[in-house]
Amino acid sequence: MEYAITDRNLIFIYFKTLQDAGISSVIDFGMLLKRMGALSRRALDLGIPEKIRLVGVDLLGAPSFPVYDGVYNCILPALSCPEEHFSVGFVLALKGLCPETELERVLLWCASWCDKTLVDEMPEEKRLLKAFGKREELIYEGRRFLALHRKGDR
């Protein structure tokens, strides 16, 4: 599969982020679970609780297998940005999967609709960083991630 995910650090940070008890809904741009070949909500001895609503945005447009209808609660077409709140937005390993302008649009959407957005590559545009509130740098085994928090309360 083109754009397959095999980076254990990326997979670990994805699952570890979802262990927070306060998370109720997630939007996953690029459907990381599909790209890593997961057939369930489990990997690396970690799992995503069933109580978490998991929405996938399929950027590959490749044929989807019925198993992913059971992994994700809802699968949206490429670059869909629904008008609903999410606890976490994942924008991970998307380089080459979508144009830079679309990635920027997704990040600006996340700044408004996600409490926290996890990214591994952030465009250098300052306006994108200004759209978010607090930033946390997460480093796991030398791999750098940013957790970007939404400004203010909803």
| Mean pLDDT computed over 111-136 | 84
Q: Phi and psi (nearest 5°) for 17?
A: -60, -35
Return the domain boundaries, the chain. 8-149
| Per-residue model confidence (pLDDT) at position 85 | 94
Q: Which residue has the higher pLDDT, 130 or 115?
A: 115
Kindly state the percentage of the chain with pLDDT values over 90: 23
pTM value is 0.88
**Over the stretch 37-74, which tens digit does the pLDDT of each residue have?**
877 787 777 788 889 999 999 887 666 666 777 789 88
Cα separations in angstroms, 6 against 10, 97, 153? 8, 16, 36
- C-beta separation of 50 from 41 below 8 A: yes
Residue 15's closest CA among 98, 118, 104, 109?
118
Q: Which CATH topology does 8-149 take?
A: Rossmann fold (3.40.50)
Flag whether pLDDT at 11 surpasses 60. Answer: yes
Alpha helices in 18-81 (DSSP H): 32-35, 67-71
Q: What is the C-alpha separation between 17 and 147, in angstroms, rounded? A: 10
Instruction: Report which DSSP code applies to 40.
Output: S
| Per-residue model confidence (pLDDT) at position 45 | 78
Both tokens of 117, joined, read 């957005």
Both tokens of 51, joined, read 């109580």
User: Which SS3 state, helix, strand or coil, does residue 148 take?
Assistant: strand
| Mean pLDDT computed over 20-44 | 85
